[in-house]
């Protein structure tokens, strides 16, 4: 399969009092052409830092890519100069964020902002760009495009604003769309609509999508493959079907058990994973998940397991074989 993005041994740090703390620590994965990959993990696991590194945006908030390699269609992004990176950012790779209001300019109409995005990428006239903006707005499922383009961001609902952001991200006809929690600020019905829109666009535009979410249920609906991240490291990578059929990492099992079942009885309390994600200054020795892991042994507390390949999946856990043999990774239905 054609790889569009390759990330290898990525280490990203932020300057602290005692040098750099590592928000992402040795992460490797790739994305195939036309594939949707979801990165799932609790808050603080390094999902956003990973995506901002691909866009080389970490440098703007005193972060630094300390090690590793990111390449897009075989071309290194890590060594690109700032102006070369500007060419790629927002054109071949586009990104949409969680809160669309902060990303839109309040003093310009929607039409002006989308057509500016189009003009930035295409050598056409203003009028033609406005027509293109109408097409894009229609494509993302906004009715009355002519009227909508004359409105200002504050006149639109959250869901509409997110659609506008998606339209702007599409203006450059990107080959890779990175969406960082694009639906977390929206209510569930609007969330479902936006996810459906992304699925349709993926079919129509044959884009690759990297979707970041803390909700493994969203990943189930969207992803071809799922990457499970915890405290700056990847715990598991597998096809979506395989992850749900049989998680291989205790953390994945924990995430799956904290999801309400669609047909689940209401009022049944959800299980949650004990404890919380460590701060970057207190990363535990050994496996980072070991302090919260019900199966951790002495070895887990001392030595970090590498992400190892098993068939077509990858997992970082010392005890996969034992846990599998004793059915300890089977997801327990709540209730
Ligand atoms: P969330 O689900 O809350 O968005 P996340 O998985 O996206 O979480 P990141 O934002 O990638 O988490 O953060 C990973 C770690 O990096 C966190 O511990 C965070 O505090 C740290 N971090 C992120 N940005 C900065 C920054 N600008 N300066 C210092 N530390 C940062
Ligand atoms: Mg984030």
For 256-310, write each residue's pLDDT tens digit.
998 765 554 444 555 678 899 999 888 999 999 999 999 999 999 999 999 999 9
Q: What percent of the chain has pLDDT over 70?
A: 95
User: Does the pLDDT value for residue 24 go beyond 70?
Assistant: yes
* Closest ligand, as measured to the CA of 49: 1
Measure 80 CA to ligand 1 centroid, in angstroms. Answer: 24
Does the pLDDT of residue 47 top 70, yes or no?
Answer: yes
**Ligand 1 atom closest to the CA of 58, numbered from 1:** 27
Least confident window among 50-54, 218-222, 280-284, 331-335? 331-335
pLDDT band at residue 100, thresholds of 50, 70 and 90?
low
Q: What pLDDT does 270 receive?
A: 59
Report percent pLDDT > 90 for the chain: 67
Which residue, 257, 180, 244, is CA-closest to 213? 180
3-class DSSP assignment, residue 270: coil
Mutate to test the pocket of ligand 1, among 44, 98, 179 (most ligand atoms within 8 A of CB): 44
**Ligand 1, atom 23, residue with closest C-alpha:** 49
User: Do 163 and 123 have their domain in common?
Assistant: yes
Query: Contact, 328 vs 295, CB < 8 A?
Result: yes
CA of 114 to the centre of ligand 2 (A): 25
Residue of the nearest CA to atom 9 in ligand 1? 46
Q: What is the pLDDT of residues 145-177, one digit of tens each?
A: 999 999 999 999 888 898 999 999 888 889 999
pLDDT tens, residue by residue, 114-124: 999 899 888 99
Q: Are residues 28 and 126 in the same domain?
A: no
Residue 333 pLDDT > 80, yes or no? no
CB 231 within 8 A of CB 278: yes
Whether 25 and 39 map to the same domain: the answer is yes
Ligand 1 atom closest to 45 (CA): 6
The token pair at 247 is: 């998680």
User: Residues 169, 137: contact at Cβ < 8 Å?
Assistant: no
For ligand 1, atom 28: residue with the closest CA: 14
Please name which of 299, 291, 305 lies closest in space to residue 233, comparing C-alpha atoms.
305
Among left, alpha and beta (phi > 0; psi -120 to 50; other), residue 10 is beta
Tell me, yes or no, whether 214 and 291 share the same domain: yes
**Ligand 1 centroid – CA 15 distance (Å):** 13
Which of 58-62, 128-132, 173-177, 302-306 has the weakest average pLDDT?
Answer: 58-62
| Residue 75 sits in the same domain as residue 186 | yes
Tell me: pLDDT of 228 over 70.
Answer: yes
- Whether the per-residue pLDDT at 335 is higher than 60: the answer is no
Q: 27 forms bridges with which residues in the sheet?
A: 10
pLDDT at residue 8, as a whole number: 98
Q: What are phi and psi of 31, to 5 degrees?
A: -125, 130
The pLDDT value given to residue 293? 96
Q: Report which ligand 1 atom has the smallest distance to the Cα of 280.
A: 18
Q: What is the overall mean pLDDT for the chain? A: 91
The ligand with the least distance to the CA atom of 50 is 1
pLDDT value, residue 72:
96
Tell which wins on pLDDT, 184 or 210: 210
Q: What is the pLDDT of residue 308?
A: 96
Ligand 1 nearest-atom number relative to CA 50:
11
Ligand 1 centre to CA of 201 (Å) is: 29
Q: Give the domain extent around 16.
A: 3-92+177-191+208-325
Q: What is the pLDDT of residue 260?
A: 66
Q: Does 202 fall in a domain?
A: no
Q: How far, in Å, is the centroid of ligand 2 from the Cα of 43?
A: 7
| Token code pair at residue 276 | 């919380």
Arithmetic mean of pLDDT, 178-197: 89
- State the DSSP string of 180-210: ESTTTTS-HHHHHHHHHHHHHHHHHH--EEE
Strands 225-230 and 233-239: antiparallel
Pocket of ligand 1 (CB under 6 A): 14, 23, 41, 43-49, 61, 63, 214, 280
The per-residue pLDDT for 334 is 61
Q: Could you tell me if 61 and 142 lie in one domain?
A: no
The residues near 333 (Cβ < 8 Å, ≥ 6 apart) are 261
Distance CA 294, CA 325 (A): 16
Q: Same domain, yes or no, for 66 and 109?
A: no
Average the pLDDT over 177-196 and give the result. Answer: 89
Does residue 320 sit within a domain?
yes
ipTM of the complex: 0.98
Phi-psi label, residue 279: left if phi above 0, alpha if psi -120 to 50, beta otherwise: beta
Q: Whose CA is nearest to atom 16 of ligand 1?
A: 23
Ligand 1 mutation pick, 11, 12, 45, max ligand atoms within 8 A of CB: 45
128 and 227 part of one domain: no
The total number of structural domains in the chain stands at 2
- Who surrounds ion ligand 2 at CB < 5 A? 48
Residues 222 and 277 in one domain: yes
What is the Cα–Cα distance from 4 to 131, expressed in whole angstroms? Answer: 31
Q: Which ligand is nearest to the CA of 44?
A: 1
Domain harbouring 281, CATH code = 3.40.50.300
């Amino acid at each position: 399969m054609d790889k569009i993005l390759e990330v290898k041994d990525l280490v990203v740090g932020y300057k602290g009092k005692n040098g750099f703390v590592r928000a992402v620590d040795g992460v490797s994965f790739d994305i195939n052409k036309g594939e949707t990959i979801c990165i799932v993990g609790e808050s603080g696991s390094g999902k956003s830092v990973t995506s901002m590194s691909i866009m080389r945006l970490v440098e703007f908030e005193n972060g630094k890519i300390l090690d590793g390699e990111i390449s897009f269609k075989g071309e290194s992004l890590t060594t690109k100069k700032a102006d070369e990176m500007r060419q790629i950012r927002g054109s071949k790779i586009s990104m949409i964020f969680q809160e669309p209001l902060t990303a839109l300019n309040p003093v310009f109409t929607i039409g002006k902002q989308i057509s500016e995005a189009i003009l930035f990428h295409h050598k056409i006239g203003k009028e033609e760009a406005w027509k293109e903006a109408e097409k894009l707005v229609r494509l993302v499922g906004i009715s009355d495009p002519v009227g909508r383009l004359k409105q200002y961001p504050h006149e639109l609902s959250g869901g509409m604003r997110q659609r506008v952001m998606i339209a702007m991200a599409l203006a450059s006809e990107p080959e890779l769309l990175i969406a960082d929690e694009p639906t977390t600020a929206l209510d569930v019905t609007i969330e479902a609509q936006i996810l459906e829109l992304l699925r349709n666009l993926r079919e129509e535009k044959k884009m690759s999508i990297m979707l970041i979410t803390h909700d493994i249920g969203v990943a189930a609906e969207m992803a071809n493959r799922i990457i499970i991240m915890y405290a700056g490291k990847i715990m598991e990578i597998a096809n979506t079907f395989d992850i749900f059929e049989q998680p291989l990492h205790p953390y994945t099992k924990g995430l799956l058990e904290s999801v309400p079942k669609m047909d689940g009885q209401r009022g049944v309390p959800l299980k949650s994973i004990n404890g919380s994600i460590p701060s970057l200054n207190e990363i535990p020795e050994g496996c980072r998940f070991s302090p919260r892991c019900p199966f951790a042994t002495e070895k887990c507390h001392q030595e970090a397991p590498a992400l190892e390949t098993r068939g077509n999946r990858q997992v970082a856990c010392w005890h996969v074989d034992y846990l599998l043999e004793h059915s300890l990774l089977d997801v327990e239905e709540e209730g």
